[in-house]
């Protein structure tokens, strides 16, 4: 692999998904979501920070009216493994009752964050509530709500790029890479 100056000398194990593969899959997801939600109020709710690049690209590929809001939950800090404790740092200001809610997540791994958020969002009585994950590791044994839309099945490795980080680094990479 040619050295990528954006890595500032830090090594990655491999490129998992290229920029071109990501663009193609995001376009396909936009088509799937457009078909799934033909009418009604759609709120695309991005889980920050990891989903922001994916969400930005995705909403531009959904061909129907929608609104966007965000929430922030923390479970990693600077670690490479989830702490298991989920804290809601920012709660959406938009009312959720009666709306179609599409929660956009960067990666589904342990499922703890999603289980916590789905429980919280369900209490707010949306018309429907679905999950769109850019990456799904398929290792969550107790995921309480299925992921309706999945960009890619992901290896059980620590992945960075396209919004995913390690200690706030690597988000700016236009591809998904596995750290060494």
Q: Structural domain of residue 24, as residue ranges?
A: 5-77+85-179
Between the CA of residue 9 and those of 4, 40, 115, what are the distances in Å?
Answer: 8, 48, 37
41 is known as an active-site residue:
no
**What is the DSSP-derived secondary structure letter of residue 161?**
B
Query: 139, 99, 117, 122: which is closest to 48 by C-alpha?
Result: 117
Q: Which residues lie below 8 Å from residue 127, measured CB to CB, with a gap of 6+?
A: 40, 41, 98, 99, 100, 101
Quote the CA–CA distance of 60 and 85 in Å, as a whole number.
33
Q: Over its length of 180 residues, how does the chain's per-residue pLDDT go in tens digits?
A: 456 766 666 677 899 999 999 999 999 999 999 999 989 999 999 998 899 999 999 999 999 999 999 998 876 554 445 545 677 777 777 889 999 999 999 999 888 888 889 988 999 999 999 999 999 998 877 888 999 999 999 998 989 999 998 888 899 999 999 987
Annotated active-site residue in 57, 106, 109, 165: 109
- Contact criterion met (CB below 8 Å) for 15 and 129: no
The structure tokens 């995001």 sit at: 26
Between the CA of residue 50 and those of 20, 36, 94, 155, 163, what are the distances in Å?
Answer: 19, 24, 20, 17, 5
Quote the CA–CA distance of 151 and 28 in Å, as a whole number.
9
Count of domains observed in the chain: 1
Which CATH number do you get for residue 66? 3.40.50.2020
Q: What is the pLDDT of residue 177?
A: 93
Quote the CA–CA distance of 119 and 11 in Å, as a whole number.
38
Strands (E), 49-86: 67-74
User: Is pTM beyond 0.95 here?
Assistant: no
Q: What is the pLDDT of residue 3?
A: 66
Coil, strand, or helix at residue 129? strand
- Structure-token pair, residue 114: 């999603």
């Amino acid at each position: 692999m040619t050295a990528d100056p954006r890595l500032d000398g830090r090594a990655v194990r491999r490129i998992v998904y290229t920029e071109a593969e990501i663009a193609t899959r995001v376009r396909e997801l936009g088509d799937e979501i457009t078909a799934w939600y033909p009418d009604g109020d759609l709120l695309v709710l991005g889980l920050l920070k990891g989903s922001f690049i994916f969400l930005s690209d995705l909403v531009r590929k959904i061909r129907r009216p929608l609104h966007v809001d965000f929430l922030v939950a923390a479970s990693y800090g600077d670690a490479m493994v989830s702490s298991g404790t989920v804290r809601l740092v920012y709660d959406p200001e938009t009312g959720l009752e009666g709306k179609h809610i599409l929660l956009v997540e960067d990666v589904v791994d342990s499922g703890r964050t999603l289980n916590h958020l789905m429980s919280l969002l369900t209490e707010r009585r949306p018309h429907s509530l679905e999950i769109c994950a850019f990456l799904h590791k398929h290792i969550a044994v107790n995921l309480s709500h299925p992921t309706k839309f999945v960009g890619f099945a992901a290896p059980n490795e620590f992945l960075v790029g396209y919004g995913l980080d390690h200690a706030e680094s690597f988000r700016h990479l236009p591809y998904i890479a596995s750290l060494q």
